[in-house]
Amino acid sequence: MAWRSSGATNRDLIENLWNNKLIKDARVKEAFLKVDRAHYAPSHPYDDRPQSIGHSATISAPHMHAYAVESLLPYILPTETNPAPRVLDIGSGSGYLTHVLAELVGEHGTVVGVEHIPQLAELGERNMGKSAEGKGFLSCGRVKFRVGDGRKGWVEKEAREGEEETVERRGSGWDAIHVGASAVKVHDELVAQLRAPGRMFIPVDDEEGGYEQHIWTVDKDAEGRVEKKKLFGVRYVPLTDAPK
Ligand code: SAH
């Protein structure tokens, strides 16, 4: 079913993801409609499939991005108690998902995309600069692209205007962490950087050196208790050392 969502236009693609129940929440649909995938995918942007973006990286298929956003949604949206959500997108690649997440975090929210390949961090930023809205997110600091090893997570030192109070109260960790490449394990640093409550969406190898992977969600509740759930089988590029 996942592969049946391809369309002729951006709207077509998103309507098909909606009709196939891959996007279920109207706010998620709205966010996807605001981002033109043509700014992020090198060709056939409205096909529901992954595509190479160079440097052994791929832009994931739209249905995978839909699953990820639906799963993280309760942690991404601003609320009265959390007006400035912080979201980490590890392996941000094309920057497409980073942009969709930025549509959802609200005016005081932050989304940081982390890449270990500098050219891909630049690609994400360049792609986002193709739309007026994306440009605005970059200039106001709602979105930042950083270069680093995502297995260690990311500590964003600069607090944004409007988020100081939330950072003081809830710490500088992340309400939601999306990992866009397959990890050999759920890295402790990532769990430690989750706020309480918070959720991580991460593909993990079933066994070392194997080709089978599953999506896991790692939830931290308000008391800091951690619960891991194995969801469904996937194929992601691996989370690795940076190429020399
Ligand atoms: N979410 C992106 C997925 C890109 S593919 C998109 O849909 O466009 C996975 C990405 O993870 C690649 O861009 C790769 O460079 C990056 N990556 C792999 N290992 C990494 C690491 N250790 N730290 C940060 N990024 C990593």
The predicted-structure confidence for 60-114, as pLDDT tens digits, reads as follows 999 999 999 999 999 999 999 999 999 999 999 999 999 999 999 999 999 999 9
3-state SS assignment for residue 33: helix
- Position 166: which residue type? T
Question: pLDDT-derived band of residue 211, with 50, 70 and 90 as boundaries?
Answer: confident
Q: Judging by DSSP bridges, how do beta strands 143-147 and 110-115 pair with one another?
A: parallel
pLDDT at 230 over 90: yes
Lowest average pLDDT, out of 67-76, 122-131, 234-243, goes to 234-243
Is pLDDT above 70 for 233? yes
pTM for the model stands at 0.97
3-state helix, strand, coil in the chain (%, to 5): 35, 25, 40
Could you tell me the residue range of the domain that residue 179 belongs to? 59-234
- Asked whether residue 95 is domain-assigned, the answer is yes
Q: Could you read off the pLDDT of 12-45 as tens digits, one per residue?
A: 999 999 999 999 999 999 999 999 999 999 999 9
- Give me ligand 1 centre to Cα 93, in Å: 5
121 within a domain of the structure (yes/no) = yes
Q: Which atom of ligand 1 is found nearest the CA of 53? A: 8
Q: Is 122 left (phi over 0), alpha (psi -120 to 50) or beta?
A: alpha
Mean pLDDT, range 144-156, rounded to an integer: 96
Regarding the beta carbon of 117 and ligand 1, being less than 6 Å apart is answered yes
* pLDDT for 66: 98
The CATH number for 95's domain is 3.40.50.150
Q: Does pLDDT of 8 surpass 60?
A: yes
Catalytic residue flag (residue 60)? yes
Cβ of 182 below 6 Å from ligand 1: no
Residue 172 has a pLDDT of 87
Please give the C-alpha separations between residue 153 and each of 42, 178, 194, in angstroms, as whole numbers.
Answer: 28, 10, 10
For the chain, helix (H) and strand (E) counts, in that order, are: 8, 9
Q: Is residue 43 part of a domain?
A: no
pLDDT of residue 77: 98
Q: What is the pLDDT of residue 3?
A: 66
Decide if 230 is inside a domain. Answer: yes
Distance, in Å, from the CA atom of 102 to the CA atom of 31, rounded to the nearest integer, reads 9
47: Cβ–Cβ under 8 A, 6 or more apart, which residues? 6
What's the CA gap between 131 and 124, in Å, rounded?
A: 12
Q: Which residue's CA is minimally distant from atom 19 of ligand 1?
A: 239
pLDDT at residue 243 is higher than 80: yes
Taking the centre of ligand 1 as the mean of its atom positions, its distance from the CA of residue 181, in whole angstroms, is 5
Mean pLDDT value of segment 173-194: 97
Provide the pLDDT for residue 36.
98
- The mean of the pLDDT values for the chain is 95
Return d(Cα 237, Cα 228) in angstroms, integer: 22
Query: What is the 179 CA–ligand 1 centroid distance (Å)?
Result: 8
pLDDT of 86: 97
Task: Identify the pLDDT of residue 99.
Answer: 98
Question: What pLDDT, on the 0 to 100 scale, is given for residue 165?
Answer: 86
The answer to whether residue 220 is domain-embedded is yes
CA distance 71 to 155: 23
Predicted confidence (pLDDT) at residue 1 exceeds the cutoff of 60: no
How many domains are there within the chain? 1
Cβ–Cβ under 8 Å, residues 203 and 214: yes
H-type helices in the chain, by residue range?
A: 10-19, 26-34, 62-76, 96-104, 118-128, 132-140, 164-170, 188-192
CA of 55 to the centre of ligand 1 (A): 10
Which ligand 1 atom is nearest residue 181's CA? 9
More confident residue, 208 or 119: 119
- Answer yes or no: is 190 within a domain: yes
User: Cβ distance 178 to 101 under 8 Å?
Assistant: yes
Residue from 5, 60, 92, 94 carrying the catalytic annotation = 60
Q: What is the pLDDT of residue 2?
A: 52
- Please check whether residue 168 lies inside any domain of the structure: yes
State whether the beta carbon of 86 lies less than 6 angstroms from ligand 1.
no
Q: CA 238, CA 126: separation in Å to the nearest integer? A: 24
Q: Does the residue 3 lie in any domain? A: no
